[in-house]
Amino acid sequence: MSSEYLPGLAGVPATKSNISSIDGEKGILAYRGYDIKELAEKSTFEETVLLLLDGELPSQGVLDDFDSQLRGERRLKYKIRSIMKNLPTSGHPMEMLQTSVASLGMFYGGEEVLSDGICGNDLDYIHSMSVKIISRMATIVAMWEHVRNGYDPIEPRDDLSHAANFLYMLNGKEPEPLATKIMDACLVLHAEHTINASTFAAMVCSSTLASPFLVIAAAIGTLAGPLHGGANQRVVEMLRDIGKPENAKDWLDNQLAKDKVVWGMGHREYKTKDPRATVLQKLMVEWGESQGNLSREFETALILEEACEERLGPKGVYPNVDYYSGILYTEMGIAPDQFTPIFAISRVAGWLAHWREQLSDNRIFRPTQIYTGEGVRGYTDMAQR
């Protein structure tokens, strides 16, 4: 057995999975063999969730039934709302989301099944928990936007799609069709991405047979970091610091000279442009045209991407999914600190698919280490130190 230490477990296989795959050289991300670009164009979030959970595209009847189940689980018990109302409004929404999701198990139960040792074969239980979590996470994120501003949250509607209802609860008005289309595509694009940090955290937690609510809470905490899901918020802050398109090239040269981060650029898995970034860029253009103009941040991003391609392209550094998602959400009127929670209400589909896969052939994770400390030694009495 190899004892080589690889920082960050880079390139170390942690599991066998058939959920998603990445071809970093060609820039292809596929869910269960289906190219993400085609899914973003032709599928819906609800259908994509079923594809990830069950392994195949559903029939119309199965999809309709699943959609109905999601719509029926959008409401929250009032005590969860009370928990949210007692949280500091200055806290980051990801902290609120982790707290609220972790509390769901206390109200909705179900973890007792995990102690039976047969949970991996109980597909009804796994499906039921997945529906409850996916549906309610969107509700929680939308509710917080109102609660933290001192208002009662807007009640969910069961006559709207997952994306449309989320935007309705977030903004207080029924979204226009293009906004729903774009949000739905964004949810599809962010739903799964092989064994990234948050998915690995979910798998490790799953392997202990923890409650699925705690599994997702562990993943949320991991996604919150700026090196993972929090990067899209940093991208918008970066573009605002640059100020205007004509500043982009000089700003980049200054950053590179100081060996500083260019947020939204580069991905460990891709040697070309992230396919999700390509789709998001097109959606941004479509949204800008519908509004009659492209934002200054987006124009700056385009110029900065050109400069980065010239200077960083030879090193295989190109835009990742975070580069355009934050700009797009900003143009849709969404607060920057809500970007990562929206990422979470999409990625929960992938987390739950991996939860199901982990339970099907479970073994608790227990990696080893290379010890670099002192050898065994005797205790030194206080008077002799």
Per-residue pLDDT tens for 341-352? 999 999 999 999
pLDDT above 80: residue 300: yes
Strand partners, 28: 23
Q: Which residue has the higher pLDDT, 43 or 125?
A: 43
Tell me the pLDDT tens digit for each residue of 131-144: 999 999 999 999 99
Compare 199 and 119 and report the one with higher pLDDT: 199
One-letter amino acid at 58 equals: P
Residue 314 DSSP label:
G
What DSSP element (H or E) covers 381?
none
What the block records as the tokens of 4 is: 């080589």
pLDDT at 7: 84
- Determine which one of 322, 354, 361, 381 is catalytic: 322
The pLDDT assigned to 312 comes to: 87
- pLDDT for 311 equals 86
Report the predicted TM-score, pTM, of the whole model to 2 decimal places: 0.91
Confidence of residue 232 (pLDDT cuts 50, 70, 90): confident
DSSP state for residue 234 in the 8-state scheme = H
Higher pLDDT, 45 or 294: 45
For the stretch 72-103, pLDDT in tens is 999 999 999 999 999 999 999 999 999 999 99
Ramachandran region, residue 231 (left: φ > 0; alpha: ψ -120 to 50; beta: rest): alpha
3 state SS of 223: helix
Please give the sequence-ordered ranges of beta strands (E in DSSP) within the chain, or none if there are none.
20-23, 28-31, 34-35
Tell me what pLDDT residue 29 has.
95
Give the pLDDT score at 272: 87
Q: Looking at the chain, which residues constitute the CATH 1.10.580.10 domain(s)?
A: 16-226+347-360
Name the active-site residue from 67, 267, 274, 354.
267
Residues of the chain with pLDDT > 70, as a percent, come to: 96
Given the candidates 3.20.20.30, 3.40.120.10, 1.10.1740.10, 1.10.230.10, the CATH classification of the domain at 231-331 is 1.10.230.10
Nearest Cα neighbor of 130 from 13, 50, 185 is: 50
- According to CATH, the topology of domain 16-226+347-360 is Citrate Synthase; domain 1 (1.10.580)
Who's near 234: CB < 8 A, 6+ residues apart? 226, 263, 264, 322
- Across the range 274-292, mean pLDDT stands at 90
- Any catalytic annotation for residue 267? yes
SS3 content of the chain, % helix, strand, coil (to 5): 60, 5, 35
Task: Count CB-CB contacts under 10 A for residue 225.
Answer: 14
Q: Where are the alpha helices (DSSP H) in 208-338?
A: 212-223, 231-242, 248-257, 275-291, 296-312, 321-331
| One-letter identity of residue 37 | K
| Per-residue model confidence as pLDDT tens digits over 111-122 | 665 665 555 678
Torsion 289-294-298-300 (CA) sign: positive
Beta bridge partners of residue 23, listed in sequence order: 28
DSSP 148: T
d(Cα 52, Cα 31) in Å, to the nearest integer?
7
Q: So what's the pLDDT on residue 119?
A: 59
pLDDT in tens, 142-153: 999 999 999 999
Average pLDDT rounded to a whole number, residues 176-195: 96
The arithmetic mean of pLDDT across residues 267-271, rounded, is 81
pLDDT at 30: 97
Provide φ and ψ at 20, rounded to 5°.
-150, 165
Q: Name the segment(s) of the chain with CATH classification 1.10.230.10.
A: 231-331
Helix (H) or strand (E) holding 38: helix 36-42
Q: What is the pLDDT of residue 202?
A: 97
pLDDT at res. 298: 86
Average pLDDT on 155-171 reads 97
